[in-house]
Amino acid sequence: MNWNVSLYNEKHGFVYQYGSQLIDLLNPKEGELILDLGCGSGQLTSKISESASVIGIDSSEEMIKASQDLFPEIDFYQMNADSFSFDQSFDAIFSNAVLHWVKDQKTTTTNMFNHLNTGGRLVVEFGGYGNVATIVDALRWSLKNHGFDENAVLERWYFPSISEYTSLLEDAGFEVSLAQLYDRPTLLESKNEGIKDWIEMFGTHFFQGIDTKDKAAILTEVQDKVRSTCFKDGQWHADYRRIRIMAVKK
């Protein structure tokens, strides 16, 4: 997937702003080496670097270039979650709003486990079961309504339940010490085009082969359909549900 870095930073900064709370759980310390898996444009990587040594990786060439430009003092590499490889191991692996994009979860959890020191910790947060269901259900309905049946059934995200994801981690060898699934309605930056902008940023895969005119009609239809649920007090909100996990390599 190609990322629009400008749109991400200008209108979807909430992704890394909410992630700042996760750094408190990570509790990075001087002398530690931490991997930021899915670093995006590097804002959280930079925050971690204030307390510990850190390396950032992301599958997106655009995001890695943005990270390197913004934070040249930090090492960033273009690597995938399921196949990243380093000679050294890490004291912790941190990941915010990334793992729901990963297809091969089993390989990814094993890869994270293998790259941690004994006693190393995994601190992650991403979309959980039911995440953005209101928006996605409306989008699927609209695509089908316009005759794009194949696009309507595309599966791109992984939004697991607590039991599903913790079982995956335990199978890889982790001991899970914290597991939460919670609602986090998220304010969107754009007051007029909030849902449209969100889909333009995160749901572009649904529009493969669809022309500009049909796409515009679908975006308008979806935003109108979810207005009663997602438009509150003059502002748009996305119905986020997050899964937050902390696990340890024993």
pLDDT in tens, 119-147: 999 999 999 999 999 999 999 999 999 99
Q: Would you state the pLDDT for residue 167? A: 98
Please determine, for residue 11, whether its predicted confidence score (pLDDT) is greater than 50.
no
**Does an H or E element contain 123, and which?**
strand 116-127
- Per the document, the length of the chain is 250
Provide the pLDDT for residue 79. 98
* pLDDT tens digits, 209-242: 999 999 999 999 999 999 999 999 999 999 999 9
Give the pLDDT score at 152. Answer: 98
3-state helix, strand, coil in the chain (%, to 5): 45, 25, 30
Q: Taking 60 as the threshold, does the pLDDT of residue 13 lie above it?
A: no
Question: Which helix (H) or strand (E) element contains residue 171?
Answer: helix 162-172
Contact by Cβ (8 Å): 18, 184 = yes
Q: What is the pLDDT of residue 12?
A: 43
Q: What type of residue is 4?
A: N
pLDDT at 190: 75
Look at the block and give the residue holding tokens 């005759």: 147
pLDDT at 7 over 80: no
What's the pTM value of the predicted model, to 2 decimals? Answer: 0.90
CA angle 55, 61, 65 (to 5 degrees): 65
Query: Over 70: is that where the pLDDT of 5 sits?
Result: no
The listed CATH number (3.90.45.10, 3.90.1010.10, 3.40.50.150, 3.90.78.10) that belongs to domain 5-249:
3.40.50.150
3-state secondary structure of 153: coil
Predicted pLDDT of residue 192: 84
pLDDT tens string 57-89:
999 999 999 999 999 999 999 999 999 999 999
Q: Mean pLDDT score of the chain, rounded to an integer?
A: 93
pLDDT at 3: 46
pLDDT tens sequence across 143-193: 999 999 999 999 999 999 999 999 999 999 999 999 999 999 999 987 789
Cα–Cα–Cα angle for 131, 152, 230, rounded to 5 degrees: 40
> What are the domain boundaries of the chain?
5-249
- pLDDT tens digits along 33-53: 999 999 999 999 999 999 999
